[in-house]
A = this chain, B = another copy of it.
Amino acid sequence: MPSTSLTFTSPEAHRSWLTSQATLPAGFRVGTTRFDFVPREAPKPAKMTLTLIALDKPSPDFAAVFTKNAFPGAPVIVGRSRLAEPAIGAILVNNKISNVCAPGGVDTANRICAEAARLLGMPPAQVLPSSTGVIGWGLPEESIITHLPQAVASLTKESMMPAAEGIVTTDLYPKLRSVQLGGGRIVGIAKGAGMIEPNMATMLVYILTDLVVPREQLRAILSRVIETSFNSISIDSDTSTSDTVVAVSSGLVPCPDLVAFENALRQICTDLAEDVVRNGEGVRHVMRIQVRNAPSFPLARALAKAIANAPLFKCAVAGNDPNVGRLVQAIGKHVGAHNLQVDLSRLRASIGGIEIFSAGAFRLNPEKELALVAHLKGAELYVSKPDADGIFSAPIHHPPHERCVEIEVDLGTGSEQATVFGADLTHEYVSENADYRS
């Protein structure tokens, strides 16, 4: 469950709440710069933002997890090698181009890191690069190097907001969550209009804290937290070549309790993960899918993801159509396709608390149908309407509420459970993804 159930009536109200949460932990500075350039592969001008997160003093206490895609981007390849370095001093992020399998991409990333390091007065290996955007294109190295001094000059210790706004691509709004703990704080930001190969090909998450959490503990805690947060969401089932989550501690404030830290980090990551889905491309309904009483967590999560990724069920949700047959189909498809030895005879399923399936058969009637439609409509984020050219786009730039389509599946065969956030499949998603590069 989210820590809060927020409603916002305007982008301004949303931005004002974000700003109130965005105070940087001690020991960090943030700066950005924006410039025009022409990509090599498609000669049409484009805009890029560089976002720089710098530590006042390099820290050994950092953790990072990266995409499992077998064609990782150059920054992911470089980032993995940084995990062995004794300390991190800065994170440099660009949007617009993801630097994935571009000829010479790793060398380009290294040269850019070296220049940033020179300007900041640290060794090149202390700069962690991140890139997000079109897959296949190469970075405009010269333009980036020309504009790096501006990013360095803009560094301030006030707020994380410039970074939250600098790393976005097709995101409708920035995503930021924070927690105050003891005398310190944790602030996290996320970029991604889909965890999973969103339009511009990446989810990026940066979490900063001033609380002392030694490197090995931070890495162990981050891996555990990721499983139930960012690894438990799906917008479109496509795994980005650039997904990256980084956590850095400046180590300036004593941590009262590592368990409390892990719980706070889990809350931030779960909330940011839900934010990413809510702000996903074309998303009009967020689905919270809970699979309970399963024999194992991996099975529970796999079944929840099978529901989250079933195109016809996603379309039904988009249309406020309680086509529950498609939900049960999705479970049966996963169990059948993977030949899983799982007893489905005790399966019970409900949507919005309304039982739709038990003891091997559907439990439907016209009254339930009406109640299910009402539940779906209640979770809608906006009303879908094409413009004069037949193009659909989400008419919001803030999250109006945090309600979900609540789906519960009880297997009755164990005691493990998993929660996955998913999204519907809408005209807005197709409009955004059938033409976005043109």
Contact = CB atoms under 8 A, between A and B. Distances in A.
Q: Which of A333, A365, A429 has the most CB of B within 10 A?
A: A333
Interface residues of A, number: 77
A69 B332 contact: yes
A241 to B, nearest CB: 5
Nearest to A281: B312
A90 interface: no
Interface string A353-384: 00001001110111001000000000000000
A18 interface: no
A224 to B, nearest CB: 20
B435 A324 contact: no
Nearest to A72: B332
A435 B373 CA distance: 12
B390 A433 contact: no
Nearest to A196: B333
A306 B54 CA distance: 39
A398 B433 CA distance: 27
A135 interface: yes
Contacts of A311: 236-238, 311, 425, 429, 433
Given A237-B309, A239-B333, 7 more contacts: A103-B361, A135-B323, A135-B329, A241-B332, A312-B433, A316-B437, A426-B434
Interface of A: 41-43, 67-72, 98, 100-103, 105, 134-137, 197, 199, 201, 236-241, 309-312, 315-316, 318-319, 321, 323-326, 328-337, 340, 344, 357, 360-362, 364-366, 369, 385-386, 390, 392, 425-427, 429-431, 433-438
12 contacts: A42-B366, A98-B325, A102-B361, A102-B362, A136-B328, A201-B329, A237-B309, A239-B337, A315-B433, A321-B437, A321-B438, A426-B434
